[in-house]
Amino acid sequence: MIEVISPGPSATVQDLGRPGFAHLGVSRSGAFDRSALRLANRLVGNDEGAAGLEILGGGLVFRLGDATTVALTGARCAGELDWGQARTFPAGARVAVGPAVSGLRAYVAFRGGLAGPAPLGSRSTDSLSGVGPAPVRAGDVLWSGPTPTGEVDGAQAVAPPGRPLGVTPGPRLDWFEPDAFTQLRRSKWVVRPESDRIGIRLDGPALGRIRPGELPSEPTLPGALQVPPDGRPILLGPDAPVTGGYPVIAVVDEADLDLAAQLRPGETLRFR
């Protein structure tokens, strides 16, 4: 049993999401930094896709009802959980994850994973449509599942370095000025504060369109860089709507989307 004393700025239950239902209008959801969740699960001996907590900016405090092995990955946070190393706490322990010191989204995995209903095959909270559990609140009690057969990994994990995000041209590159894709890769982009799991909004030189008017809505994917009329791209996150009408200039490589999850408001990023 895990009793949440404080969720911090925002905490949600996330696993690897619910792909395969976009044709019914359901977002993919799941951990924004998927490799971080996978790593946290491996450290505590879980299946990589087990549900854990995605916490924004750290700040989570919880009490353990039973002796439990816990691991923290993603954003580096102050506090008693060492980044990237599993640790077993005794029953009754109060564990505080401090504020994030680098990165934005941290992942806490519990040995056994978080149990609970899995609508459409996933325990993830979808912040857009409300599928899955509500965001975690103070006083919530979470339960871990059965002890897995996998062993706890005693090794210290290595954090991936920050680097530019790889992009490939999107389906509507021809809606933009000829140098727009080059401009996208040569410019510095700043993460705007109004960014969330639905999309990371970027500020930088406006990407010029040569085709006016609207595009009929098209299916989208997390990682797509949509460009509204103001020319400032929006990088779609895991809870983004499954269709959208703004032209997509480029798409972030799937493996690099995890890096985007760790970008803080005000931080700069580059594409390559």
Q: For other proteins, which residue of 114, 242, 260, 263 counts as binding (CB under 8 A)?
A: 242
d(CA 33, CA 80): 22
Confirm or reject binding of residue 158 to other proteins (CB under 8 A): no
Q: For other proteins, which residue of 48, 140, 153, 218 counts as binding (CB under 8 A)?
A: 218
Q: Residues of 184-214 as b/e, b for ≥16 C-beta within 10 angstroms?
A: beeeebbbeeebebbbbbbebeebebeeeee
What is the helix (H) or strand (E) element at residue 104, kind and residue range?
A: strand 94-110
What is the helix (H) or strand (E) element at residue 62, kind and residue range?
A: strand 61-64
In this chain, which stretch among 17-25, 57-65, 140-148, 188-196 interacts with other proteins, using CB under 8 A? 17-25
98 or 171, CB closer to other proteins?
171
Q: For other proteins, which residue of 178, 217, 229, 267 counts as binding (CB under 8 A)?
A: 217
Confirm or reject binding of residue 24 to other proteins (CB under 8 A): yes
**Number of Cβ within a 10 Å radius of residue 178:** 11
d(CA 181, CA 178): 7
153 or 253, CB closer to other proteins?
253
Q: For other proteins, which residue of 9, 25, 121, 229 counts as binding (CB under 8 A)?
A: 25
Confirm or reject binding of residue 147 to other proteins (CB under 8 A): no
Q: For other proteins, which residue of 3, 10, 19, 160 counts as binding (CB under 8 A)?
A: 19
Q: For other proteins, which residue of 98, 119, 148, 160 counts as binding (CB under 8 A)?
A: 119
**Least distance from other proteins to the Cβ atom of residue 137, Å:** 21
**Least distance from other proteins to the Cβ atom of residue 89, Å:** 34
Q: For other proteins, which residue of 48, 85, 221, 264 counts as binding (CB under 8 A)?
A: 221
The three-class DSSP label of residue 178 is: coil
The three-class DSSP label of residue 150 is: coil
Taking a C-beta distance cutoff of 8 angstroms, is the pair 101, 78 a contact?
Answer: yes
The three-class DSSP label of residue 139 is: coil
Nearest to 40 by CA among 142, 117, 122, 153: 153
Taking a C-beta distance cutoff of 8 angstroms, is the pair 160, 35 a contact?
Answer: yes
Q: How far is CA 208 from the centre of its chain?
A: 29
Confirm or reject binding of residue 243 to other proteins (CB under 8 A): yes
Q: For other proteins, which residue of 14, 122, 195, 220 counts as binding (CB under 8 A)?
A: 220
131 or 227, CB closer to other proteins?
131
| Residues forming the site for other proteins (CB under 8 A) | 19-26, 119-120, 128-131, 166, 168-171, 216-221, 223-224, 241-243, 248, 251-254
